[in-house]
Amino acid sequence: MTSVTLFNQIQVDQIRPQDLLPHRPPMLLIDRVIEYLPGVSVQAETFIKPDTMFFQGHFPGEPILPGVVLVEMMFQACGIFGRLEALNVVDVSSIQKDYRPRSGRAIKIDNMTFNKPVLPNDTVRIRAVFDHRMLNFSVFKARVDIEGRGLAAKGIVTVLINA
């Protein structure tokens, strides 16, 4: 299986989260985009490094990634989707070198449930499925799955995305 996946002419292995989000380490929580379906959804992936700063105090001797970090991953995936939609990207090379993403805002979290803990060395997949727009806000059904272990968290998130 090739690492290049095409969806409506888009090579997702060339989409770099840092080109679309204003976040930078340590708050850039998305490693790579693995699927983008224009008008429908985005799926991203992140490897949870054992030395991530969140494990230092949550909890010593029993590190668990805080749930709020999983929610932030969901918001960042929504930001990637929204910016790709706003830029009307058909070809990743069309993302201009001088494009500077503006920050968006997390607006609302609904029905969030946390099912399994995310641990060091886990790989997680974040999926955000566009549900609807309400004024300038976009509503997504989002989830985080742990590779090989199942659902970590899911809920509905509302964002304001500044393209």
Catalytic center residues: 58
Q: Rounded to 5 degrees, what are φ and ψ at 85?
A: -65, -45
Q: Which residue, among 134, 152, 131, has the nearest Cα to 143 in the 3D structure?
A: 152
**C-alpha separations of 25 from 11, 106, 108, 109, 145 in Å:** 24, 19, 24, 24, 22
Residue 78 · residue 140 · CB < 8 Å: yes
Residue 123 · residue 146 · CB < 8 Å: yes
Q: Which residue, among 130, 152, 151, 133, has the nearest Cα to 141 in the 3D structure?
A: 130
Q: Which residue, among 107, 87, 108, 106, has the nearest Cα to 36 in the 3D structure?
A: 87
Dist CA 155 CA 19 (whole Å): 26
